Amino acid sequence: MAWQVRVCVPFSWSASKNAIYVLRRKGHVALRREAREYRDRLIMVLKSALRGQTIVQNKLWLDIYVEKSNHKGDAVNLVDTICDAVKVATGLDDRWFSIRHLDWSINKDDPQLIVAIGQEDVPPSQVCSYCGRILEMSRFSSNVSIKSGRHRICRECLSLPPHSRKLPTLSERIARREKIIKLATSGMSASQIAEQSSVPYKTVWAILNYAPSLITEVSSSALFGQTEHGARIELRPLSS
Ligand SMILES: [Zn+2]
């Protein structure tokens, strides 16, 4: 992590999206007001902790530690409120958020909510709307008619003929998956399958790696020992 700031605010169930079940005696209006106030307090604390910190458009990592005042509610229900506050405080769209850690304990005396946010040493980037890669801004050509000033499709994908940019549908993916598994069980290697079916090697490899029927037949070192491009998975036919 290139930088990280950590803040701490007193815990309250009003930050939970299910506060209504935990704080049954209060009315809806009061609960909504409390939730808003809690969010605003978190925004204020985050903003002052972030003063002077440059935030780039790229992944933002969150570590959340919830000291619950009792065991009546769950920590995961605070995630929405926290992300909402981080979004306002950082000005970064929450599509960039990744929760690295979410843990909890019970603290009856003085429960706290601890939130840490940070980024790695990364350049401002954008997600290509076609290939989905996170790429530096220079990898997108400029386009004044778009708010960000950049094309949403990377230069590389833009140079492909439009018809080849079609993505497979769910039923096509299911059919192709079955075909790939069938070929693998007949003894074909991942690279041969990729070549024959013109499915990206990465996709073939991922399908085979997580196909439960195959995993039982292949030694775990063959499957998990190699992860990079060019790795070869040798699959023994299921029938042998
Ligand atoms: Zn692309």
Q: How far is the CA of 166 from the centre of ligand 1 (A)?
A: 12
Burial class of 84 by CB neighbour count within 10 A (0 to 12, 13 to 18, 19+) = middle
- Rounded CA separation 40/43 (Å): 5
Q: How far is the CA of 100 from the centre of ligand 1 (A)?
A: 26
Q: Which helix (H) or strand (E) holds 190?
A: helix 190-197
The answer to whether residues 153 and 129 touch, using CB atoms and an 8 Å cutoff, is yes
Q: What's the mean pLDDT when you consider all of the chain? A: 85
- Rounded CA separation 48/35 (Å): 20
The mean pLDDT value for 76-85 works out to 95
Over residues 7-52, the pLDDT tens digits come to: 999 999 999 987 756 666 777 778 788 889 999 999 999 999 999 9
pLDDT at residue number 238: 43
Q: How far is the CA of 114 from the centre of ligand 1 (A)?
A: 37
pLDDT at residue number 126: 95
Q: How far is the CA of 187 from the centre of ligand 1 (A)?
A: 33
User: Please, what sign has the CA dihedral across residues 43, 44, 50, 55?
Assistant: positive
Q: Are strands 134-136 and 125-127 parallel, antiparallel or unpaired?
A: antiparallel
Q: Residues near 6 by Cβ (< 8 Å), separated by ≥ 6?
A: 49, 63, 114, 115, 116
Strands (E), 107-157: 112-119, 125-127, 134-136
Which stretch of 51-65, 97-111, 128-142, 206-220 has the lowest confidence by average pLDDT? 206-220
Q: With a cut of 90, say whether residue 57 has pLDDT above it.
A: yes
The answer to whether residues 121 and 2 touch, using CB atoms and an 8 Å cutoff, is yes
DSSP three-state, residue 237: coil
Over residues 160-219, the pLDDT tens digits come to: 888 777 788 999 999 999 999 889 888 888 889 999 988 888 889 888 877 766 554 444
Q: How far is the CA of 84 from the centre of ligand 1 (A)?
A: 29
- Rounded CA separation 43/135 (Å): 29
Q: How far is the CA of 11 from the centre of ligand 1 (A)?
A: 43
Q: How confident is the model at residue 240 (pLDDT cuts 50, 70, 90)?
A: very low
pLDDT at residue number 78: 95
pLDDT at residue number 219: 44
pLDDT at residue number 42: 97
- More confident of the two residues 53 and 226: 53
